[in-house]
């Protein structure tokens, strides 16, 4: 049986510097959360007690590498809060190193780790920035491993806000399963736990009448349903997940992202995400994302 939803909800936002934590906090503020940015971990428990006493029901907290020395405290704190029947959701925002370096260059901001001398007295500032980002990944790796990861590398701020809201508004469960379609030509999502390549399947793109449609349109659905290879792929992915999701849940995994990729992220991957989500939503909390289609819809 799924755990009962607590009357007090905490969302912890962590992630790489420049990955969109402020955007995520704005999305949570829109949902009615009381938001606190850059909270030192030592103040987490006192803040929770204070806000509960003030009858705050929804609290969102952002932490980052500026609190690196005390971040190791956080996993135990989250376990303590969950033991008090508090609903705790963790979101980790990530992006590729190249993306983060470009964002720092465009905004001319300094990386937070530069404040502790990492980037001082280094002639090659680009190389130093890359090293700072990789060090940040290492420092945050434990928090990433316990969180729902969202790759913000190529999605728009409005798209990120939409993903955050849909995740937080999903029912409380032991495991949340995310199916995500994507285009290989735009890169593999770094938030994926499992990646399936379906580019070998028959492609509706080469049918003139289907080219402008998507895997959610009836003509494309009928085309793909008639292809034995597509059904075979669906059966194989479903069998794999059927075999391992229970084990992942038993291993205290709270979030699993399954990415399905084709060439353009419009037909085959979208169709398979829709089909798989329909199958698994009867047993797990299931979310759907169509990275390329969502980006176009928000333009």
User: Pick the residue with more confidence: 282 or 5?
Assistant: 282
CA dihedral 190, 192, 197, 202 (to 10 degrees): -110
Q: Do residues 69 and 147 both lie within one domain?
A: yes
pLDDT for the residue numbered 298: 61
pLDDT for the residue numbered 171: 78
21-30, 76-85, 114-123, 184-193: least confident range: 114-123
Q: Do residues 158 and 187 both lie within one domain?
A: no
Answer with the one of 154, 169, 184 that is the final residue of a domain.
169
- List the domain range (segments joined by +) for residue 276: 176-297
173's CB contacts (< 8 A; 6+ apart) are: 2, 3, 284, 285
Is residue 19 domain-resident? yes
Q: How far apart are CA 221 and CA 13, in angstroms?
A: 37
Of 137, 154, 166, residue with least CA distance to 255: 166
Residue 216 in this model has a pLDDT that exceeds 90: yes
Q: What does the pLDDT look like over 104-123, one tens digit per residue?
A: 888 878 888 875 554 454 44
Q: With cut-offs at 50, 70 and 90, classify the pLDDT of residue 3.
A: very low
The count of structural domains within the chain is 2
Q: With cut-offs at 50, 70 and 90, classify the pLDDT of residue 299.
A: low
pLDDT for the residue numbered 116: 53
CB neighbour class for 202 (10 Å; exposed up to 12, middle 13-18, buried from 19) = middle
Distances in whole angstroms, Cα of residue 176 to Cα of each of 171, 202, 229, 257: 9, 30, 28, 8
pLDDT for the residue numbered 297: 72
Is residue 231 domain-resident? yes
Size (the chain), residues: 299
Q: Do residues 141 and 244 both lie within one domain?
A: no
Answer with the one of 134, 154, 169 that is the final residue of a domain.
169
Is residue 4 domain-resident? no
Q: Give the global pTM.
A: 0.79
pLDDT for the residue numbered 125: 65
Residue 221 in this model has a pLDDT that exceeds 90: yes
**Most trustworthy range by pLDDT among 6-20, 100-114, 197-211, 239-253:** 197-211
Percent of the chain past pLDDT 70, that is, above it, reads 93
pLDDT for the residue numbered 124: 56
Kindly state the tokens that stand for 38. 């850059």
Please give the DSSP secondary-structure letter assigned to residue 47: H
Q: What does the pLDDT look like over 35-51, one tens digit per residue?
A: 999 999 999 999 999 99
User: Hey, which bits of 208-248 come out as E strands?
Assistant: none
Q: Do residues 162 and 288 both lie within one domain?
A: no
Mean pLDDT of the residues in the chain: 90
């Amino acid at each position: 049986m799924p755990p009962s939803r607590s009357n007090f909800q905490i969302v912890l936002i962590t992630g790489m510097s420049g990955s969109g934590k402020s955007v995520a906090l704005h999305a949570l503020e829109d949902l009615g959360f009381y938001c606190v940015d850059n909270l030192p971990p030592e103040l987490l428990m006192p803040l929770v007690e204070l806000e509960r006493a003030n009858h705050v029901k929804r609290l969102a907290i952002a932490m980052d590498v500026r609190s690196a020395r005390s971040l190791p405290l956080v996993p135990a704190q989250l376990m303590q809060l969950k033991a008090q029947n508090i609903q705790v959701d963790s979101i980790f925002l990530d992006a590729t190193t190249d993306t983060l370096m470009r964002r720092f260059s465009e905004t001319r901001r300094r990386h937070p780790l530069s404040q502790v001398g990492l980037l001082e007295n280094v002639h090659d500032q680009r190389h130093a920035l890359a090293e700072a980002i990789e060090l940040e990944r290492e420092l945050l790796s434990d928090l990433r491993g316990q969180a729902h990861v969202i790759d913000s590398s190529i999605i728009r701020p409005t798209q990120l806000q939409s993903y955050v809201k849909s995740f937080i508004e999903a029912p409380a469960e032991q495991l949340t399963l995310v199916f995500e379609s994507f285009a290989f030509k735009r890169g593999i999502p770094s938030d994926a736990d499992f990646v399936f390549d379906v580019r070998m399947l028959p492609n509706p793109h080469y049918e003139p009448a289907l080219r402008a449609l998507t895997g959610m349109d009836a003509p494309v659905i009928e085309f793909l349903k008639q292809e034995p290879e597509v059904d075979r792929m669906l059966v194989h992915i479903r069998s794999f997940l059927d075999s391992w999701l229970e084990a992942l849940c038993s291993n205290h995994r709270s979030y699993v992202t399954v990415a399905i990729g084709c060439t353009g992220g419009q037909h085959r991957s979208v169709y398979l995400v829709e089909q798989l989500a329909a199958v698994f939503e009867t047993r797990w909390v299931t979310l759907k994302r169509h990275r390329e289609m969502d980006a176009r819809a928000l333009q």
